[in-house]
Amino acid sequence: MKKSNPLALIPIGVFVAFYLSLGIIFEYVMAIPMGFYNVPVIVAFLVALLVAVLQTKGVSLDQKFELMGQGIGDKNIITMLLIFLLAGSFVGVVGRGSAESVAYFLLSVTPPRLAIAVLFIISAFVSTAMGTSVGTITLITPIAVAISTGSGFPMALCVGTVVGGAMFGDNLSFISDTTIAACNGQGCAMKDKFRTNLAIVAPAAAVTLALIIVFSLRYDISGGIIKEYDMIQIIPYILVLISGIVGINVFLTLIVGIVSGSIIMLATSAVDFPTLLSSMGTGASGMFETSMVAVLVAALCALIKYNGGFEALLGGIRRIFKGRKGGQLGIGLLVGLMDVATANNTVAIVMANPIASEMSKDYGINNRKVASILDTFSCIVQGFLPYGAQILVALSAVTTLGYELSAFDIIKNLFYPFLLLISSLVFIFFVPEKNKN
């Protein structure tokens, strides 16, 4: 590895400039819907990788490929890719019907006045079970709109509650790509990260629920939503959640979910066998971009590290952030800035992982706490981004149903991400650190 070289960080700057500038042009100049997500992130990383290859001097092209291969062949990268594929297959098998069943069941057994609080619980559960905040928002936002129009609750409050609950699950879920990326990037067991993460999110979620109930009591409401539901389809989700919490290996956990989901879907005639296989393949294929990003970032970071970029970045961080608590805050700000630049919390974590891993050694921070900070701060920032997928998808769902909201309408009703930020800072500065990894 070469000595500190700030110029080795240029590829990261190239990626940010390419992705962010095109995203702004597409979103705000050309007014393309979901403009940021029309920028091919894989192409942006390929451009950055080409710059890194050209920067790497003194070695042959074959040796550069060998360096990249060593980065891609890391055990944590391979594990991450396999878990991504299994998680996608699981979501493909169980589908969305079971998530809707959870929603309508809970709404049918609670008083209408508590409907918004139930929306938060539903969104949190569904996102934790499905491992996707965007999928949860797509699924639950129409229910939130129906609750608003049928009861009189403000639509912005209902939709903002769904986005907040979805970010809870995105942060905590065992099959979320952010959890997979953070845990495997730091060599941390998912059950350990879950337990550490729970200490951060539980207070924020509890206060959020209390605030939602207080706000709900201010409105005169009427009516509710009653639809049919099939509770047997939630069994695979429950099995995955329980298996993850008790510490069963994540591969075995996902296989149990896939097998149980397949049996239930076939036994209830929800799908036939060819359709089940097709759904499984579609779910795995849905992880293609995320998996390719992990591969390209691993190759890119291997060259940046060889050229001394990481040492330069760590040197700058050491000068700004002092002590173990300062190091934790530095990790949080690092992944937050990556998320602002990419508008994708999984990509932000994958990019920040190798640097955060070096910082954990430098500052003496245990790996499960680093994984929790990476996941939590990326979800905090992602939840507030007006150009992030979560808010854009929520706005799109509302518009499709014939109503209008602005990004600011939703953001000012996002209690949970704001409270999660406060809880995270308390966790960093006031919770004693354990050295054992």
Q: What is the per-residue pLDDT for 66?
A: 92
The number of domains in the chain is 1
What's the confidence (pLDDT) of residue 350?
Answer: 84
> What is the DSSP secondary-structure string of 317-369?
HHHH--HHHHHHHHHHHHHHHHHHHHS-HHHHHHHHHHHHHHHHHHHT--HHH
Contact at 8 Å (CB) between 201 and 171? yes
In a domain, 126, yes or no: yes
Sequential pLDDT tens for the chain (437 residues)? 457 788 888 988 888 888 888 888 887 888 787 676 677 888 888 999 999 999 998 889 999 999 999 888 877 778 778 877 887 888 788 766 666 677 777 777 778 888 889 889 988 988 887 777 877 887 788 888 888 887 778 889 999 999 999 999 888 888 788 888 898 888 888 888 888 899 899 999 999 999 999 988 887 766 556 666 667 877 887 787 787 777 677 788 888 888 988 998 888 887 888 988 998 888 888 778 778 887 888 888 889 888 888 788 777 877 888 888 998 999 999 888 888 767 778 878 888 888 888 888 888 888 999 999 999 999 999 888 876 778 878 887 888 778 888 888 888 889 999 999 999 999 998 877 665 55
Helix 367-384 × helix 323-342 angle, to 10°: 40
pLDDT (0 to 100) of residue 112: 80
Rounded to an integer, what distance in angstroms lies between the CA atom of residue 86 and that of residue 434? 32
Q: How far apart are CA 378 and CA 345, in angstroms?
A: 5
CA separation for the pair 241, 115 (Å, rounded):
24
pTM (two decimals): 0.77
49, 299 contact by CB (below 8 A): yes
- Contact between 152 and 220 (Cβ < 8 Å): yes
**Residue among 276, 374, 223, 298 at smallest CA distance from 67:** 298
Give domain status of residue 211, yes or no. yes
Distance CA(395)–CA(134), nearest Å, equals: 12
The answer to whether 115 touches 151, Cβ cutoff 8 Å, is: yes
Domain contains 437 = no
Spatial contact of 205 and 170, defined as CB atoms under 8 Å apart: no
Contact 164, 417 (CB under 8 A): yes
Query: What is the separation, in whole angstroms, between the first and last Cα of the chain?
Result: 26
Is the residue at 110 inside a domain? yes
**CA–CA separation, 248 vs 356, rounded Å?**
26
Helices 155-172 + 389-400 axis angle, to 10: 140
Residue 1 maps to a domain: no
In which residue are the tokens 């403009």 written? 35
Distances (CA, A) of 271 to 98, 195, 258, 355, 415: 13, 36, 14, 45, 39
**Inter-axis angle of helices 75-94 and 288-306, nearest 10:** 170
Which own/partner pairs from 200-204 qualify as long-range (CB within 8 Å, at least 24 positions apart)?
200/372, 200/376, 200/420, 200/423, 200/424, 200/427, 201/168, 201/171, 201/172, 201/376, 201/420, 201/423, 203/419, 203/423, 203/426, 204/416, 204/419, 204/420, 204/422, 204/423
DSSP state of 137: H
Tokens 């036994």 map to which residue? Answer: 267
Phi then psi dihedrals of residue 124, to 5 deg: -65, -45
Structural domain for 302, as ranges = 6-430
Q: Tell whether 307 is covered by a domain.
A: yes
Residue 435 lies in a domain: no
The closest alpha carbon to 373, from 316, 418, 430, 330, belongs to 330
Q: Which residues contact 350 (CB under 8 A, 6 or more apart)?
A: 181, 185, 293, 294, 297
How far apart CA 60 and CA 183 sit, in angstroms, is 34
Q: SS3 for 153-197, per residue? A: CCHHHHHHHHHHHHHHHHHHCCCCHHHHHHHHHHCCCHHHHHHHH
Cα 205 from Cα 165, distance rounded (Å): 8
Give every CB contact of residue 84 below 8 A, 6+ residues apart in sequence: 177, 180, 287, 290, 291, 294
Say if 408 falls within a structural domain. Answer: yes
